[in-house]
A and B are shown apart, each in its own frame.
Chain A
Amino acid sequence: MIPVTTPLNLPTIPAFTLPPLIARLGAQQPQWPHSVNLVLALNAARKLNVLPEESLQELEGRTFRVTVLDTGMVVDFAYRAGAFRPVFRASATPDLHFTAQLSAFLQMVSRQEDPDTLFFNRSLSIEGDTELGLRVKNMLDALEWPRLAWQGLRPTFLKR
């Protein structure tokens, strides 16, 4: 039988908003550890060749910000000299800025919701260089999560 690569059997993520206190506290914490963590994860994905080299080259020299509204988290990073790097003193206007609640980001990365759907219903906002935003969106859309998940879960001796 030919294996079916979708869907991912993940639990359904409802739309939710965390209590305002979390955002208030979160906004008072230092943000740099978030940037460092995300950059570590992105660079790991890059080294595993999950992110296509050709698309990454198009990100060279560009700055990014991700704001998670209901956790008060703001992450600034850049892609420079072939790697993601944290940005500690961010400019007021990065090249690309994604803003959403935590639940919308989770729904998007788990492929439960389509980014355009989230954009149409105003759950996701994208500001800055629209073409760069489209490129990043299309790069994320082109990733084949399910196959990766399966390969990761299968014991090594079963791998072809």
Chain B
Amino acid sequence: MTKPQLVCPAGSLAALKAAVDNGADDVYLGFRNDTNARNFAGLNFDDKSLVEGIRYAHQRQCRVLAAINTYAQAGRFADWARSVDKAAELGIDAVIIADPGLLDYATKTHPALRRHLSVQASATSYEAINFCKEKFGIQRAVLPRVLTLAQVENVIRNTEVEIEVFGFGSLCVMNEGRCWLSSYATGESPNTVGACSPAKYVKWEKKPDEMDVRLNGILIDRYGNDENAGYPTICKGRFEVAGETYYAMEEPASLNVLEMLPEIIKIGVAAIKVEGRQRSPTYVAQVTRNLRQALDAVIAAPDKYSVKPAWAAELAKVSEGSQITLGAYNRPWR
């Protein structure tokens, strides 16, 4: 049984330290610009915090991965190339890239720098992954959260590339790397500016009995005072469809694979990823600590494994909409 790497998010130096101290094997982060898909005000790493973060992690045998996973925009390829150059210069252990043009640049310019295929590349088949290995020498691919466990296993059986899957965190609309919902309302999307629902377009309006949330003026949800809220993205909004108002695309919920962790490890995934570079060091510490304990428990005695109530409770608390799901891993339809 291979022990998968635990890959944890960091939006700040404090979060990176929380991940390292609580048992992450890899920490992934972004630079302070639109070359990463969590480009929010005041988040991410400038050069000073990057140098300190890499030093802190490496001292403790933890690797640092840089997500450079938006698509290079017309006329600005140099900005994305510069991010890859910076990663190589500062001693980042691997770059996580989606754009084939940028992968090509990284392959030719920094052949010794490890390359991971980002979830934003939307590669769900072993053919796509093997193609990227042949052309760009990728060593790991992050699978979008659209495959069942059996489909993940089929990918693993047919490629030499390490496979990384999501283990915990806010769910996407299951269309990663190809989503334009945010562009419909704002003209900006994760692939272009590095954020779905950029904050400048989001408006929360508190009223006596409800709270409305609008994206560039479009009403996307209305919460009663006793209802849990989610992120202000169109995919998680409630809309009127054929006379009924409901979550027409998906409910706000977080993926949580604790329950099926032994099966995920058994099929041979190389790494398990935690979503949430936009979250606080508190979240990073809570999630990393619980997943570390669960992973270690499976490796120590897979047959005796069961989800401890304390892990489940803490992870449920930090979940979006305070709801958890197994997502696509166990869906019955294909």
- How far is the CB of A91 from the nearest CB of chain B, in Å? 17
Q: Is the CB of B281 within 8 A of A122?
A: no
- Determine which of B41, B205, B225 lies in contact with A135 in the assembled complex, contact meaning CB atoms within 8 Å: B41
Q: Is the CB of B225 within 8 A of A142?
A: no
Q: Is the CB of B229 within 8 A of A138?
A: no
Interface assignment of A116: CB less than 8 Å from any CB of chain B: yes
Chain A residues contacting B200 (CB-CB under 8 Å) are 130-131
Instruction: Provide the B253-295 mask, 1 if CB < 8 A to any CB of A, else 0.
Output: 0000000000000000000000000111111011000000000
Q: Is the CB of B282 within 8 A of A113?
A: yes
Interface assignment of B324: CB less than 8 Å from any CB of chain A: no
Interface assignment of B331: CB less than 8 Å from any CB of chain A: no
Interface assignment of A30: CB less than 8 Å from any CB of chain B: no
Q: Which of A120-160 contact B (CB under 8 A)?
A: 120-122, 125-127, 130-139, 141-145
Q: Is the CB of B285 within 8 A of A6?
A: yes
Interface assignment of A17: CB less than 8 Å from any CB of chain B: no
Instruction: Provide the B15-44 mask, 1 if CB < 8 A to any CB of A, else 0.
Output: 101100110000000000000000011110
Interface assignment of B100: CB less than 8 Å from any CB of chain A: no
A79 CA to B215 CA in the complex, in Å? 27
Q: How big is the B interface, by class?
A: 35 or more
Q: Which of B212-231 contact A (CB under 8 A)?
A: 223, 225-230
Chain A residues contacting B14 (CB-CB under 8 Å) are 141-145
Q: A6-B285, A111-B282, A141-B11 are in contact. Are A117 and B42 (CB under 8 A)?
A: no
Q: Is the CB of B211 within 8 A of A141?
A: no
Interface assignment of A48: CB less than 8 Å from any CB of chain B: no
Q: Is the CB of B279 within 8 A of A135?
A: no
Q: Is the CB of A130 within 8 A of B199?
A: yes
Interface assignment of A2: CB less than 8 Å from any CB of chain B: yes
Q: Is the CB of B283 within 8 A of A116?
A: yes
Instruction: Give A residues with C-beta under 8 Å from B.
Output: 2, 4-7, 55, 58, 99, 111-117, 119-122, 125-127, 130-139, 141-145
Taking A125-B206, A131-B198, A133-B199 as known contacts, 4 extra A-B pairs with beta carbons closer than 8 A to each other, sorted by chain A number, are A111-B281, A112-B282, A138-B11, A138-B40
The 9 A-B residue pairs with the shortest CB-CB distance in the complex, in nearest-first order = A138-B42, A131-B199, A142-B12, A114-B283, A135-B41, A130-B202, A135-B42, A114-B282, A141-B280
Instruction: Give B residues with C-beta under 8 Å from A.
Output: 11-15, 17-18, 21-22, 40-43, 59-60, 198-200, 202-206, 211, 223, 225-230, 232, 252, 278-283, 285-286, 317-322
